Chain A
Amino acid sequence: MSEEKIGVYICHCGTNIAKVVDVEDVAEWAGNQPNVEVSREYKFMCSSLGQDLIEEDIKEKGLTRIVVSSCSPHMHEKTFRTACERGGLNPFMFEMANIREHDSWTTDDETAATQKAKALTNAAIERVVHHEALEQLPVEINPNTLVVGGGIAGITAALELADGGRHVYLVEREPSIGGHMAQLDKTFPTLDCSACILTPKMVDAGQHPNITLLTWSEVEKVDGFIGNFTVSIRKKARYVNEEHCTGCGICIEKCPFNVVDDIFEAGMGDRKVIYRPFPQAVPKYPVIDKENCVYFQKGKCKACEKFCPTEPNSIEFDQQDEILTVDVGNIILATGFQLFDSTKIPQYGYGRLPNVFTGIEFERMVNASGPTDGKIVLRDKKTAPKSVAIIHCVGSRDENYHKYCSKICCMYSLKFAHLVHERIPDAEVYNCYIDMRTPGKGYEEFYNRLLEEGTHFIRGKVAEVTNAARKPEEKGKLIVQVEDTLIGRQRRVPVDMVILSPAMEAQPDSKEISQLFKMGCDFDGFFTERHPKLDPVATMTDGILIAGACQGPKDVPDSVAQGAAAAARVAGLINLGTVMMEPVRASINQEDCSGCRICNNMCPYNAIVFHADRKVSEVITALCQGCGTCVAACPSGIISGAHFTNDQLFSQIEGILWDVRPEKELVSA
């Protein structure tokens, strides 16, 4: 053991660590620990110069083990292992101490942080002595990919991969792909017709020979790891046979019952009980809304079945949910967002004052194929408003709801203003904003255009929307109470219609989704990327990627870019064919195994077999995932968990308690 020469490197991480931890002190102290040959501190260990330090020291000083105290191993373990390898050392002769995420970022107490940094560094020093050279295990990558979510990000990712010749399973929980973009009329700042640019992509995805489209379906279970995931998908019963249905739509026409469409039409319009969310839906097969279907509830009707022209009949009232199992190598999550519920801010009157609308209601209203055929009207469905107020930041940039900026609201609020000007030329439009945020190609120009179109911009957060008139001219109007901070005065703006621009927020079940796929989501419910700047589409879990608004508020071009980026990452991995896996695996010393079989039932992967003839157990390496449960259970202590051996962990415990450990002789006494 005393033969070992350890190199210890303490990273400043700029000031991230050095501001709280006395890195010079830790480095000097580490230099006096047993086996430590060289101890240094450096500004950025992960920089190429920092890595060169390790490489050169290995070559020049003959180091046999390396310890780096810096950030989380989830961030840079790979970086430093590669540096060790370049220096000619087995990459597993390395150990990392996390003195940033687990130390300097969690306290201002310099003394305590420095002491903790020493403990973590010492734990690594004592552990690394017991490290063994290991070889990474190659794992084959299944070339099929699962994309979850059929909005614009998911569609883009699926098409990129499919066009490159790879098979994709595209899963969408709604009856059609398209996502939020399908609900929009125009897209900012170019004012492209949303459907005109989206539907061709939807059709491509629906007809692509390399895409298996699974709509009205949800992922139930995910097993496995990068390269080899097994995913169970619940294909909910549509009560329409997809093989026979031609999508003619006669059943929809003949269905005698209407219900309010809360999802696609945002409550602004009706749909039939057997329905497609919108005419260009992909796939074209309708779905029966069982909750509202008179046949399902009362046992009578069957109009859809009666009028279905196909032979055999496409309506199948006895259809059941199906569970499909697919094997994929990678998973791209593009599960999107939901809009903030505007009723949570009662002073804005949504749900109480009829002529207060949400942004998505307005989107449906101005859509030519929407419930009012594109006419902007009040709740009575006939009166055109003469004045409209648009309130920005509803639920965004607000301590009480979401602190973050939803990024898209300024632009879509400007788009609303433009659409009102376009459809009702003599209407007055007021945009009440906190700050105008228009970064993006052509976005600021769009804002300038609106300034010229005569929109009134009021800089101030709206306090209240009320119908309580104080003056005769306010009678019968909605009054927007707002402080105009540019003129320093309270204003009461009487208008006919108010449009709220709600925040983008994470899907209500994003936490469950993140747990299902075993990756992280932040406090707001958005999925956590591997690195916020340099790796925005990967997650901490290998083989799981994220794209679009599930990662954070995003507009269409950003979502498309992420969808394509995630696809490119997957395509690269598939091209490689194999990925190197951590050699963290268990093995049983066959000589010493007593054949007690306690470990046999411990293994969640059934990776341990018992040889009845020799009365010993053996781990099948290909099946072992390296959790170490069997290692902890073996009563003889003869199962070894590579890179997490008992020796390594005991030494780490001793090392981490360097300052409180009783004298050796006392312990042995």
Chain B
Amino acid sequence: MENIIEIKNITKCFPGIIANNNISLEIRRGEIYALLGENGAGKSTLMNLLFGLYEPDSGQIFLRGEPVNISSPAFASSLSIGMVHQHFRLVEEFTIAENIVLGTETIKRFLGILPYVDMKTVSKKISELSKSYGLDVDPDMKVSQASVSVRQRAEILKMLYREAEILIFDEPTAMLAPQEIDYLLQIMKNLREQGKTIILITHKLNEVKHIADRCGILNRGNLVGVYDVADTSVEKMAAYMVGRELEDEKPPSKHDFGEVILDVKNLSVSKQGTSCVNDVSFCVRAGEVFAVAGVDGNGQIELADAIFGLLEATGGSITLLGQDITNAATRERVETGMSYVPEDRHSVGLILDFLLQQNLALRRYYQKPFSKHGILNDSIFESFADGLIDKYDIRCGRGAVTVTRSMSGGNQQKAIVAREIEKDSKLMIFVQPTRGLDIGAIRAIHEHIMNVRAEGHAIFLISMELDEITVLADTIGVMYEGRINRIAPASELTTDEIGEYMMGVKT
């Protein structure tokens, strides 16, 4: 089979780091090529080079045998390269059809004078495309009303409408439920059958195993190797990816739970006038990991925010260690015994312009010995931070006085986890604790969670990743449209069953 893309000796440096070191790849026409690697391995940089967002320092890209200098995304698009970004580029207030034609509208003239966009032909072309690739969308639906998976299909159609031959998918399954993932993978197979070339950026090995033909594995900017997926085990791929063998994570072993730490009864929460959490009741016991599964946007985040006091409860009660905290202030809840690792580490979990030592002390700075009579003691901040940096393996350029903004996402998250665990609260809430992190960092955070579980803390976990829930949870609650529809011990639920509850098929 001929090579549609050849990347020859590409090197791309950024100050202080070599993102791509002398990488050569060939991608064949009509294959699904997976690009595997941890965060920071250089796979996004490589694809951004291909999509015209960066230019290489040295090396050459050949497209269909011709050397090309891809200088902009628009040019990449004219070379029929398309990319589905992890975060969609869609105009919320437009319909799907309008989004698809945006920028390539065919203008017709009414009575030969007044210009207008010919949406009829567009709709026809879109339905033809969606039929031939098995992409089910309603072209006249507004994007704001579309679910994540429909939006993704709209993005794929957008590329196909522009007659893209090479389709790059950046972490396409990150936000999808299991059934939606299967559907997407089926779409990719259809695309391959129709002769499209697909490059899949991911760190989910099972998906690679499932659909990819070959995979290139990157580690710290270097190409480790290119493997035929059929002859390479998932374990091998993982080992190549992180540069060492990883043991499988096992679900938590059974043990007895202690007293009830958090008791939520009939809790309802509204945000900006719309009800997000509806009559939810559950309890978390000492030594238990209670995980809430659900597709993003079904009220999980609001539930956690309400327990922590960031959103007001409109009904019901929250009891922590026997104390009614339904209307308590956030800091009061923290002092009663609650920690919280928020979903959004940049705009909630950290103050990025503060030093690492300040961020690490954010749960303690107002107490002795950090603050005496309102005066802060910098040396206590520093020694406290040094301890945590060591214990939690937080990598930072200048130690305790590193500006937090300059650290990598994984290390920022480690800093938050370290801070919240060190508070030694009876209840620890983790919301999406490993989102966007690489395997090494994910394993480290999972280990910390299992450690605090063993120490008898109660853990309330919210995750959109089923894999994460299955390796951590003792008890699973599945949330759909603001309600927890099913609560059961993890051992009694299969992944498919959880998926059905997540999608609202079963209630």
Q: Do A and B bind each other?
A: no
* Chain B interface (Cβ < 8 Å from any Cβ of A): none
